[in-house]
Structure 1
Amino acid sequence: MSGAGRRALTEIRRAVERWPHDALRPDCQLQTVLAKRLEAGSIAPASAASQSAGAREDAERKQANALFALVENRYITRHRLSDRMMKPKFNPTYYEDLLAEIEEAPNRSWTARISKKLRGMFRLK
């Protein structure tokens, strides 16, 4: 592997180290999947094996750039969402409620999860 390919893999390793932990799915983390691919020596998919070395290195460099863009939230800073988008008229607190639910979900007990599920199934008004 050339120097450019090694640099791309090093950048991907750095991005994987900075990737946030997923509390909703603790048994399935992106870091572990990418780490296994990096141990194999390449992050490129198996279909890329037939490509030339230069094309593979270019693809790995693009993947490293995409990972860093996600880790650093480049898209959220570049493409801001308006208040109209984040506070729809039909339910202005929808996204705040959704975020609160996502933050609360990993810490719920088994009985709390079951009761929440049952309450969602049988909504009485």
Structure 2
Amino acid sequence: MAGPARSTAANYFRGALTRWPKSILRPEIQLQDVLAKRLEKGPLAPAKGGMTQEQADLKQANALYSLLEDRYKNKYRPSPKIFEPKSNPTYYNDLLKELEEAPNRSLLGRMAKRLSGMIRFT
């Protein structure tokens, strides 16, 4: 009976990995690939505190789904004012813009950005 329950947890885990978004910043290293290799090695987590191995594996799969569905972002919604610090109100918008532009930047663009970060005019 341990085999089918464990495969159920593995199936839930694999289902979450197929829905996980691809990283555009580092396309050669994906979280899905790392976790899939980990899944092949055996149990996802050690069973603790009277918990069976199946329950521990299902708990790990549930944790992955909770991250995938943004449960914590929705449960603990911060005030919009926190994203506009008084010292630099556009900081988070600039950061998001930079993350969107970074994967498409050419070699010359990356070098120019790096040099502009080293030299600061005050």
Name the aligned partner's letter for residue 7 of structure 2.
R
- Which residue of 1 is the match for residue 26 of structure 2? 25
Q: 1:56 offset after TM fit, Å?
A: 2.5
Q: 1:62 offset after TM fit, Å?
A: 1.1
TM-score normalised to the size of structure 1?
0.86
Q: 1:41 offset after TM fit, Å?
A: 4.1
Give yes or no for contact 1:34–1:43 (8 Å, CA) kept in 2.
Answer: no
- Where 2:52 maps in the other structure, the secondary structure is helix
- Which residue of 2 is the match for residue 88 of structure 1? 85
Structure-to-structure mapping, 1:1-125, within 5 angstroms? 1-44=2-45, 48=46, 55-125=52-122
| Runs of 4+ in structure 1 over 6 Å off | none
Take 1:121 and 1:56, find their aligned partners in 2: how far apart are those partners? 51
Take 1:104 and 1:55, find their aligned partners in 2: how far apart are those partners? 46
- Where 1:124 maps in the other structure, the secondary structure is coil
Give yes or no for contact 2:44–2:56 (8 Å, CA) kept in 1.
Answer: no
TM-score normalised to the size of structure 2?
0.88
Take 2:32 and 2:111, find their aligned partners in 1: how far apart are those partners? 30
- How many residues of Structure 1 are paired with residues of Structure 2 in the alignment? 121
Give yes or no for contact 1:9–1:60 (8 Å, CA) kept in 2.
Answer: yes
Take 2:44 and 2:84, find their aligned partners in 1: how far apart are those partners? 39
Runs of 5+ in structure 1 lacking a partner? none
Give yes or no for contact 1:24–1:106 (8 Å, CA) kept in 2.
Answer: yes
Q: 1:4 offset after TM fit, Å?
A: 2.1
Q: Which has the higher contact order (CA 8 A, sep 6+)?
A: 1
Name the aligned partner's letter for residue 40 of structure 1.
K
Take 1:42 and 1:28, find their aligned partners in 2: how far apart are those partners? 23
